[in-house]
A = this chain, B = another copy of it.
Amino acid sequence: MNQSEAFLDERVRMAAEAFQFLKSTTVAQRAAFMHAVADKIEGLGAELLETAHAETALPLPRLTGEKARTVGQWRTYANAVASGIYAEARIDLANSETGKSDIRKSNVGIGPVVVFGASNFPFAFSTAGGDTASAIGAGCPVIVKGHSGHTQTSTIMAEAITAVIKEIGWPEGVFSHILGNNIEGTDTKIGAYLTAHPLVKAVGFTGSYWGGKALFDIANQREEPIPVFAEMGSINPVFAFTHLLADRAEVLAQEYAASLTLGVGQFCTNPGVFVAVKGDGLERFKKALASAIVATAPATMLNTGIYAHYEKNKTTLSSQVDVAIIAESGIAAAQGQGSPAVVSTSASNFLKNRVLSEEVFGPFAVVVEAENDAEVLAIARQLKGQLTITIAATKEDVNEHQDIIHVVKDKAGRILFNGMPTGVEVVYAMQHGGPFPSCTDPRFTSVGPDSVKRFVRPLAFQNWPDEFLPEELKNENPLGIARIVDGAVVTTKSI
């Protein structure tokens, strides 16, 4: 073990020790902690925003909104945790006549969780982001590997969490912050070491397919396999239909261009593919889309690596056989600025050439022109798993294309009826996680309070005296949480 590994090992051991504390906390105690973190982040001033702006080039208004969103995540997850919904308490009382035992079950944290921060959300999907909040809400210590693209921002957030831990008197190991530039070894090695560590019990990741899949493979080849929740992005196709295009091709093009170029296209829900049957509506859409793209200014991307990837991937897709450029930004790009571009191809070519289905992280889209509905259906059938699929349609279109709607339900975690997929709301009903390869596990979401579910496991107690049960399962229900008692939901009443 070299010096870096010794450091990582020590932090993991501290997390494992802290788990011994955390697993005895109640949902109410964890919710109180989470609100304290929310307060602390809320109190961070201009320094946080300016540091993040300098590190990521994201505009200050966007960062201000993302900070509010991050605070909101801690608060809404805290409230959900406090309500007991993720304790999933079930009580089946003893029956002396049948000899049935008293059995009670509630969820506990799964153990130490390693979180890999994302490049594109320095607050909401990073050090103090949704993975960290949901893991702590579940009762799990967290070891964050901060993203190399915004280490100072990450450090400010880590210090906020650490300050709350000190104030509230929790063990230091509840939260660790690892930065690649502080220790030897590449980021990849750090990630591999942490994921393989026997005391680590789950991983949360937001990033590229290759990064997420590598961690998934390491986790499943361990002696004790562990879950990896990797959100790896997708191409988020928009399927547009004729009645809708006839009604509002130009408005749709405006909405689509705005979504595609929002944040320089650096969202995992960026709508990178647009599919429609050829015709007057599609021609109008393309024309309006071209105008919008030509008028959209290039903007600085998150970092030079992402910029370089974007330019390379854009060139690769644009130079495929039978691909035509519809429009590029008419405004010159400075170094590091991603320049929007849209290309078109035929459905048959899109079906044949899988390169055209690869995600391009940035403001780039492929417009797929189908000869008929059968080709659109074939594309829907061939799609890999997606975070989102959007149906741009009138009700009449939906009624006429039930077959396509039916198929896309298998291909995404969230399907939209009009609107655009960017702007992932932090609500109970959000599903941010679709079938593979958009995610490693479509059964869970990484946005919304339900993200807490990823990091719990049930623990059943049979015939235990009330005094030894966790508060979530005691007769008098001191936390006042909803529980299923003998098969029926019971809220505040003691039993």
Contact = CB atoms under 8 A, between A and B. Distances in A.
A465 B105 contact: no
Interface stretch (A55-63, A181-189, A429-437): A429-437
A442 B415 contact: no
A220 B456 CA distance: 21
A457 B464 CA distance: 33
Contacts of A91: 429
Interface in A398-422: 398, 405-406, 409-410, 412-419
Nearest to A402: B468
7 contacts: A92-B430, A103-B429, A104-B429, A105-B428, A110-B443, A225-B440, A482-B489
A383 interface: no
Contacts of A103: 414, 425, 427, 429-430
A460 interface: yes
A20 interface: yes
Interface string A373-386: 00000000000010
B419 A460 contact: no
A101 interface: yes
A478 interface: no
8 closest A-B pairs by CB: A431-B460, A92-B427, A414-B460, A90-B428, A90-B429, A103-B429, A105-B429, A220-B220
A52 to B, nearest CB: 24
Nearest to A432: B460
Contacts of A385: 224
Given A413-B458, A415-B462, A430-B460, 8 more contacts: A23-B410, A101-B425, A105-B428, A224-B435, A227-B443, A405-B468, A445-B458, A489-B489
A47 interface: no
B461 A417 contact: yes
A100 interface: yes
Contact of A484 (B406, B428, B440): B428
Nearest to A454: B443
A464 B224 contact: no
A108 B409 contact: yes
A310 interface: no
Nearest to A388: B462
Interface of A: 20, 23-24, 76, 79-80, 85, 90-92, 100-101, 103-105, 108, 110-111, 216-217, 220, 224-225, 227, 385, 395, 398, 405-406, 409-410, 412-419, 425, 427-431, 435-437, 440-443, 445, 450, 456-465, 467-468, 482, 484, 487, 489
Q: Which of A92, A417, A418, A431 has the most CB of B within 10 A?
A: A431
A336 B80 CA distance: 55
Contacts of A456: 443
Nearest to A469: B417
A442 B425 contact: no
A458 B414 CA distance: 9
B463 A429 contact: no
A220 to B, nearest CB: 4
B419 A443 contact: no
A360 to B, nearest CB: 21
Q: Which of A385, A419, A484 has the most CB of B within 10 A?
A: A484
A421 to B, nearest CB: 8
A482 B488 CA distance: 11
Contacts of A100: 425, 427
Given A225-B440, A428-B484, A443-B456, A419 B461 contact: no
Contacts of A415: 459-462, 464
A238 to B, nearest CB: 13
A374 B114 CA distance: 31
A457 B443 contact: yes
A398 to B, nearest CB: 6
A452 to B, nearest CB: 12
Contacts of A459: 409, 412-415, 431
Contact of A416 (B90, B105, B398, B462): B462
A225 B416 contact: no
